[in-house]
A = this chain, B = another copy of it.
Amino acid sequence: MRPTKNPFRLSNASDKDRLSEIYRVAARIICEKGYDATSMNDIAEAVGITKAGIYHHIPGKKDLLFSIMNFGMDSLDEQVIIPAREVEDAEQRLHTIITNHVQLITSRSTPQGNNPVTIIVDEVAGLTAAHRRKIDQRKRAYVDLVRETLEELKAEGKLCEVDVTTASFSLLGMILWLSRWYNPGGRLGPEQIAEEITKIALGGLLRPKASRARR
């Protein structure tokens, strides 16, 4: 096959895939070097496209953090929030939230063993106030989904005697922290990690089936 003449060099991928790849690579470099030390050139080189090519996809470094965060929140919407909202049973929905979110994080880990997009989503220091409000709003929608799910479980007598707010954030902390310690070359594969985190989280939040029956 002849080498392509297309300067963008990602000719097999759709535009959306290209953008995803650029955001993921940019997030990885920003996590390594810091945002200010990262240049458009670094990103172009790491993606393997020309400098002209990178500017075809993103207008510049301004708003790049915000774009990466929205990209991260879009993935969360598509892969976690929307599928979870379709699950009527609260216990099953909680399973879906945990499993799908763990899957989202582990599927995008780098060989260095973290998920830079997930990490960037919490680096709100570089945002303008207006952008920060938008990202906060999107995050709040997710926290609300988790909280409402736990409230339903409480109403059904399935939740342990725990504070719902603390439980919601503790669950999110467990899941999100994975982006910082998961090692894709490690002993446990993504499915096993999802299973272990589900066990630990549900063990801490849900009443054992026997004790529910006794209520």
Contacts and interface: CB of A to CB of B under 8 A. Distances in A.
Interface of A: 30-36, 122, 125-126, 160-163, 165-167, 169-170, 172-178, 180-181, 187-188, 192-193, 196-197, 199-205, 208
14 contacts: A33-B125, A35-B36, A122-B180, A162-B196, A162-B203, A163-B188, A163-B196, A170-B174, A173-B174, A173-B177, A174-B174, A200-B205, A203-B204, A208-B208
Contact of A166 (B122, B196, B208): B196
Given A163-B196, A200-B170, A203-B160, A126 B34 contact: yes
A202 B165 CA distance: 17
The prevalent SS among residues of A at the interface is: helix
B167 A196 contact: yes
A193 B188 CA distance: 31
Contacts of A193: 166
